[in-house]
Structure 1
């Protein structure tokens, strides 16, 4: 037997092929010992990674990033607006509460009471009921104001109005003088009222003649005066005093006497 045949026979006896032929470049065993390595397992194709839900963040695509930023800015602006609105409402509420407490304290300390008004004089002239011509009446009115407050003064400001009505007809008008009425004071106010070319209907003339024959000529006096209250050294805002008086006189010539008179008043704080 030749040398080559002997070598092939020895290799055939010592080499045992694996069940699966190795791929090229995958050998890691000892080739000289005739051992062939097994084929390595391929890497898995998929992976499962578990991440907690609170750690998952959404990343918008670049083309929508500006929209997300704009929406985020709107949310921030709305939050700031709500905070400012809540602060403003809270401030207004606190101011109202403090003002209420202050007014209640002033009331308990000073115990304010409204002034009392009465008509002391009511002289009439210039009303001719025998002619159908327009009349130009004149009234001289005397009003007494009593301020019974011990620590409160009253400023009577400009802008007052005084009117005398018969039924719904405004016969004349005028104004009160401006003055200051101190605490615990009685002030007598005189004012002259005039009317010009007032046309009376025949029915109204007849009605007034009937009242005059009974010496019960009724009139209505309306006073509207802006005032300011002085408490200590502090003056309040302008308050409107409204006085309504029902006055009945005995005749339409001077001097005339008051048969009856009753006054009521109201106050507009604001």
Structure 2
């Protein structure tokens, strides 16, 4: 680009040319144009950066937070009520379960240490103390030997009416087991008085009473069944209850004064 050559001072300017100034005027300051978009799209709106003091910055939560807080505030009393209603029964259930576990473990440990056992019985005397000639109801007196095998526990027998005497599998008399106490590792004698049916005496028993010599008397087979209710006594408390059923099958030669038990077999089982 060629520059304009300033004419000599001595030369007069022609009428067509404008007068020359001593210094060219400064061009006006214009804003810098923004770079055009490469894809030719419309230019977006301008972005302004505004600086605010830090102590004047406020944080506004989104509207979703306000809805969540309002929902929680409305449901708060109902939730508390449900917790109060559910927590009390649950607490009671937990306490009951813990107490049952403690009692169960205590009972198991006590059982393993003491090993409670029921007594053993044996028949050593049977007699007919009255017959139908004197009384309407025959009475049988049976003497038992009860042995307590426990070395640490006494036995407290409870009275009951479940004692029966059988002949040929049929009921002939009944009575009660007496209430008594037995020391640990000790044997006692238990006397039972059983009352028969009115005017009923088995023919074999009546025949045995009439015979005078032992050689002529036929052995009589009887069966004694009884439910024995008892509690194991540790000395300061009765810690264990045992209900047992005893059955003694025995043969006796005579039911009179010289009665003698020839053989017997007694069994006891837990109820």
TM-score (structure 2 length as normaliser)? 0.59
Alpha-carbon distance in 2 for matches of 1:145, 1:113: 13
Q: Is the 8 A contact 2:220 2:251 kept in 1?
A: yes
What is the CA RMSD across the aligned residues, in angstroms? 3.9
Q: 1:247 aligns with which of 238, 243, 250?
A: 250
1:135 deviation in Å?
7.3
Q: 2:237 aligns with which of 227, 234, 238?
A: 234
Equivalent position of 1:145 in the other structure: 146
| CA offsets 1:122-153 (integer angstroms, 9 cap, x no match) | 2236678xxxxx97332110111111211111
What is the 5 A alignment of 1:1-270?
A: 51-52=63-64, 55-56=67-68, 57=70, 79-124=83-128, 136-159=137-160, 161-197=162-198, 199=200, 215-236=218-239, 238-268=241-271
Alpha-carbon distance in 2 for matches of 1:90, 1:80: 16
| CA offsets 1:240-259 (integer angstroms, 9 cap, x no match) | 33211112223454432223
Q: Is the 8 A contact 1:208 1:217 kept in 2?
A: no
Q: Is the 8 A contact 2:123 2:145 kept in 1?
A: yes
Q: Is the 8 A contact 1:122 1:249 kept in 2?
A: yes
Structure 1 runs (4+) deviating above 6 angstroms are: 206-209
Give unmatched runs, 5+ long, in structure 1.
1-49, 59-64, 129-133
Q: Is the 8 A contact 2:225 2:247 kept in 1?
A: yes
* Greater displacement, 79-88 / 94-103: 79-88
TM-score (structure 1 length as normaliser)? 0.59
SS of 1:104's equivalent in the other structure is helix
Q: Is the 8 A contact 1:160 1:226 kept in 2?
A: no
Alpha-carbon distance in 2 for matches of 1:53, 1:205: 101
Alpha-carbon distance in 2 for matches of 1:223, 1:265: 10
Q: Which has the larger radius of gyration?
A: 2
Alpha-carbon distance in 2 for matches of 1:206, 1:79: 78
How many residue pairs match? The answer is 201
- Does the C-alpha gap of structure 1 residues 206 and 153 become closer, same or farther in structure 2, counting only changes over 3 Å? closer
